[in-house]
Amino acid sequence: MIELLVATTNKGKIAELAGMLRDLPCQIIGLDSLPNSPPIPEETGATFAENALLKAEHYFNHAGLLTLADDSGLEVDALGGAPGIWSARYAGAGASDAERVARLLEELRDVPDAARTARFRCSIALVGVITGAVERHVFEGSCEGVITRAPRGRQGFGYDPVFLDGETGRTFAELSPAEKSARSHRGRALGVTRSFLERRLKRDDEG
């Protein structure tokens, strides 16, 4: 059994990640379990992958634990891919989810339904020692949808209430946690991460 640090203070992300990894042979802990945890570093990367690695490296160097960090966001075609890596800061520092959604809908107010295509992207970085040496891995996932004209649903967080999944006809905020995990960008990236950890941890146990 190894400790796996999930490097986020976002309670929604922690719940999703912990739920999908709960039966792996590792103990999942969050940043609130660390004594004197340093603040989240400034996200200076140009891509989701760079920012995820930056965060994972930062907390691995602090705690010495196998660390998982993600960076994810929404890309809207009519906005040239914005908000992208700025998704969490789209309405300014300290803005709420509702304020970010409101800004997005205002910018898309005159965009016709057919042109409101978008996607969520997620990069998950894993940094730490699994078998004797520090390893660095990045796993990615994405999902396609369209932006609704008004929020719908009470589940999820972030832009979930305005991201319509074409196959189900529901926003991510209208899906159950299990349904969202099966379809979301984070769920897909985490699925690849989970498969990697299952193989490696099983191999290490057998060795």
Residues noted as catalytic? 71
**Quick one: how far is CA 75 from the chain centroid?**
14
Q: Is the dihedral of CA 29, 30, 36, 42 positive or negative?
A: positive
The single-letter code of the amino acid at 157 is F
Share of the chain residues as helix, strand and coil, in percent rounded to the nearest 5: 45, 25, 30
Closest to 40 measured CA to CA, from 66, 16, 62, 72: 62
Alpha-carbon distances, residue 205 vs 10, 42, 181, 196 (angstroms): 32, 37, 28, 14
Return the bridge partners of 67, or none: 5, 127
Neighbours of 112 (CB within 10 A): 8
